[in-house]
Amino acid sequence: MKRKLLITTALVSCFMICLAAIADMSGKWTGTIQTPDGNDLPLTYVFKVDGDKLTGTAQAQGEPTAINDGKINGTDFTFNVTNGDGSIIPHNGKFYGDSVSMNLEVHGSKLHTTLKRFVEK
């Protein structure tokens, strides 16, 4: 009986550790966004999560830009990115484990994208 309990406890612990690793938004995410003029713009985000704080970088064209004022509340998150011209681009979204749904506001245009976790091949 003790052996079954020990094995069950070990399996549940392994499952919870795997679930926690999968549920972390930290890492590299990629996708595209359609600009108001109809062009697709590739996006790359590298998220770092520490408790309820979200940091990292965002890259659309050129050099990566720091993520500022990032916060996570459950699966919802918000952060800002300062554009090359100095304008602030607010982001908000939801983390789904295998994808991130995100809304941005760029120069008055509201845009939406879905990011997928980057997996090296």
pLDDT in tens, 55-73: 999 999 889 999 999 999 9
Among 18-27, 42-51, 105-114, top mean pLDDT goes to 42-51
pLDDT tens, position by position, 97-116: 999 999 999 888 999 999 99
CA distance 99 to 93: 11
CA distance 67 to 8: 42
Q: Residues with Cβ < 8 Å from 45, sequence gap 6 or more? A: 28, 29, 30, 56, 57, 58, 59, 67, 100, 115
Does the pLDDT at position 89 exceed 80? yes
CA distance 111 to 17: 35
Mean pLDDT of the chain: 86
> pLDDT grade, residue 23 (50/70/90)?
low
Tell me what pLDDT residue 101 has. Answer: 98
Superfamily of domain 25-117: Calycin beta-barrel core domain (2.40.128.20)
Domain residue ranges of the chain, discontinuous segments joined by +:
25-117
What mean pLDDT comes out for the span 31-41?
92
CA of residue 7 relative to chain centroid, distance: 35
